[in-house]
Amino acid sequence: MEQNIQKTALPNGLTVVTEQMNYLRSVSIGIWARCGSRHEPLEQSGISHFIEHMLFKGTQHRSTQD
């Protein structure tokens, strides 16, 4: 089976990797970001972990579906 993988760099610096699979009738999306605790300055230590919890737990005013 032949793979059709393309890597594209967008003007905003985002890298997009796509693979066309003509035998499938669906779409799958994965997102990987070059950020997180390893890139945090000392004064922001823990902010990535906090944001992670905000996204999957929600808040009093925002559900996980918002």
Give the residue numbers annotated as catalytic, written as ranges: 52
Question: Which DSSP state fits 11?
Answer: T
Give the H or E element holding residue 52.
Answer: helix 47-57
Name residues whose C-beta falls within 8 Å of residue 37's C-beta, 6 or more positions apart in sequence: 45, 46, 48, 49
